[in-house]
Amino acid sequence: MKAIRSKGFDPARIGWEESIFHTANGYLGVRASLEEGAPENAFTVRGTYINALYDIKDIKYGEKLYGFPETAQGIVNLTDVQTVRLWVDGEFFSLTEGEILKYEREVRMDKGFSQRSITWRSPNGKEVQIRVRRMASLNQRELFILSYRVRPLNFEGEIVLEGEENGNVENFSNPDDPRVSAESPKHLFVQEARRVDDATLIVSTTGRSDLTVACAVKYRLDEGGEATSRVDGERVLTRVTYLAEQDEDVTLTKYCVFTDSRREADPRAAALGILNEAAELDPEYWMIRQQEKLDRFWEESRVTVDGDKKLQASLDYSLYTLFCSAGRDEISNVPAKGLSGEGYEGHYFWDSEIYIFPFFLLTNPDIAKNMLAYRHHILPEAREHAKTMGHEKGALYAWRTISGSECSGYYPSGSAQYHLSGDVAHSFIQYYLATGDIAFMRDKGAEVLVETARLFMDAGHWVDGAFHLDCVTGPDEYTCIVNNNFYTNAAAGQNLLWATKIILDLRKAGMADEVTEKLAITDVELMAFVDAGENMLLPYDSLRGIHAQDDSFLKKTPVDLAYIPEENFPLLMHCHPLWLYRHQVCKQADTVLAHYLFEDLADEDIMRRSYDYYEKCTTHDSSLSTCVFSIMAAKLGDMDKAMDYFRRTATLDLDDTHGNTRDGIHTANMGGVYLGIVAGFGGLRIKEDGLHLSPRLPEKWDGYSFTVKHMGATINIQVRKNRCTLELLNGEPVTVFISGKKVKVKDKTKVDL
């Protein structure tokens, strides 16, 4: 496995590099900012983040109506520990002075670190080789290590390194882009900045959420280094001087620990305690443990493609970044930008359930279980949100949130997206079908399914024997406040049916009493769930032979996207929402997504006609779209389209095709890269009767393979021309359906395609 690399210094790409080469471990994320500081006028965000650590800010409205959220949460930029300044025999190292002889950045996905390598000639001709290595530990979540090595190449003399910890930080903002924060208030306030024995300690609190963050740092020096430290207000500076020999390295290593009050009763004591233990161990110890963790990860999770090195690199980067982005506790999830930037303000969306969750469900069910535990943890806030929206019962999950309350001030494409509650239910159902973990469904899952089902019962109504859901918004955010969005109704129907099924399964297992009593569930209510679920209206247009996106979409004015200038995309940045709402134009997959997730609701001919129709009016302005079109194109047998959409998905961040990777990577799209292979070309679906596969091989590939976990078994799946080989790596034999054929996987099983 090779690294992702970028060669040559380009000030215009600093923001992109900060996102791509960030380091994270699910709890802590650090952008790959230049230690010495960025050149003037270059885009840079010096960011450090803790997953689910937030502050509160007011939402401002021109006209505020009842139920509009008054405040929002946003991820907080934390104490900056990235700064290291270098003087080479008295000359300050700067990329804008002297001469850059070599410049390379890389992320080593096999070893779990990012690295910057520079060969620089000073204005006076002194040449040095610089290597900066960063690691967010996968074994000690609070630990970030930065190692700065300098080697004189044509002289011997004084090397001075100055490290800095700075508590005076602010969040990034862009008032012209709705995808990032529009204001930049100061969220973090230093309460204490000082030396504690041989460590730096900065303790800060958030302005309104009243959360505490502690940052503790220790330096490890090479022999011969002389260090002095001083406190300068909210900064602590440590200067180290070496008398360096030619061709010999001198190194400064920073051990940095971050703790927070959402997880620790005393973050200050916890930070110092963790730091003291971590700093007792050499950086190499942490590197070895990092690689051990990743060896296991790649063994269980890697997807391989034979015959396309660029796509393989994109696959590896996507899966590695997903692994480093996911929270590991019930108060955190997967932010829309991972922990790589402040785009979407660190919020969790439906992206987590539909695009990211499947990867962990199939490769690391424990992380998937944590993601579901988060949704159960914020269930009280979802109930409260439902009440605010006028419902007497049920749970409506917030469209964008951190701690559970709604953070979207624009309800047409925010709170109106009721499908989110169905998406959450869908992920619990998929987890149960993939693991059989009925104890978890008793403890958490059943409650979520019942409360989200109650929401849809309260939101819907009966018309001529069919159950309707009015005034909702589906996944397509260019079509808002409609009646009977096909996707929403399909998700709600599954939710309603499964709320009953899980209670019946718990009864069979003798585990239903506690849940039934807690939720006051009656058989009458369960029968009502089934009645509504079985009679859910699924809009269908008999003239075109397709499922309509909603009751009104096909009556709107069509748009020929070919006549819209390329510079006007994404349309949300150039068109008033009402213009979008009045036309047949889709931001992203909607009905096509429903055909993927709920494929048994329509036959293949309907799916094909729907695909062809909606493809013509979909802009793919959302990064969540092309992967779905790739998956469905593969299912329908159009491999050219499937490959085209898959390449667009896989290269989105590495090639910065949307032009906004500098705000953070597109985490859900990376989940889509995984699904493009596994659910698209592999045709994997998890259904009530078991695991289904319908493998297809793109013409230019020699083959592909992936490993999945299902019902306690680990199965490696290899697809080659005309053959699919399944190998049981561990666990009990399991039944799998290959293109509809039932196969018992015992050891190694070969199936002709």
Residues tagged active-site: 477
Closest CA to 453 of 485, 398, 491: 491
Which long-range contacts link 711-717 to residues 24+ away (Cβ below 8 Å)? 711/434, 711/435, 711/436, 712/435, 712/436, 713/745, 714/300, 715/745, 717/682, 717/693
Question: Residue 401 carries which DSSP code?
Answer: B
Scanning the structure block, which residue is given the tokens 């049920």? 394
Spell out the SS3 assignment of 416-457. Answer: CCCHHHHHHHHHHHHHHHHHCCHHHHHHHHHHHHHHHHHHHH
DSSP string, 714-733: EEEEEEETTEEEEEEEESS-
Q: List, in order, residues 6 or more apart from 267 with CB less than 8 Å away.
A: 203, 212, 213, 214, 259, 260, 261
Question: Residue 9 carries which DSSP code?
Answer: -
Q: List, in order, residues 6 or more apart from 729 with CB less than 8 Å away.
A: 707, 714, 715, 716
Spell out the SS3 assignment of 50-106. Answer: ECCCEEEEECCCCCCCCCCCCEEEEECCCCECCCEEEEECCEECCCCCCEEEEEEEE
Phi-psi region of 345 (alpha: psi -120 to 50; beta: other; left: phi over 0): left
Q: Which residues pair with 583 in a beta bridge?
A: 557
Cα–Cα dist 311/681, whole Å:
14
Cα–Cα dist 179/171, whole Å:
14
Maximum CA extent, the chain:
89
Q: For residue 263, how many other CB atoms are within 10 A of its CB?
A: 17
Cα–Cα dist 214/256, whole Å:
10
Amino acid identity for residue 53 in this structure: L
β 91-92/99-108 pair status = unpaired
Scanning the structure block, which residue is given the tokens 């443990």? 289
Helix, strand, coil % (nearest 5) of the chain? 35, 25, 40
Cα–Cα dist 540/546, whole Å:
6
Q: Could you give the strand order of the β-sheet that contains 226-232, starting from the edge strand earlier in sequence?
A: 91-92, 84-88, 157-166, 235-244, 226-232
β 748-752/540-541 pair status = unpaired
Burial pattern 131-148, b for ≥16 Cβ within 10 A else e, equals bbbbbbbbebbbbbbbbb
Are the beta carbons of 187 and 170 closer than 8 angstroms? Answer: yes
| 3-state secondary structure (DSSP) of residue 192 | strand
Q: List, in order, residues 6 or more apart from 169 with CB less than 8 Å away.
A: 46, 77, 78, 79, 80, 188
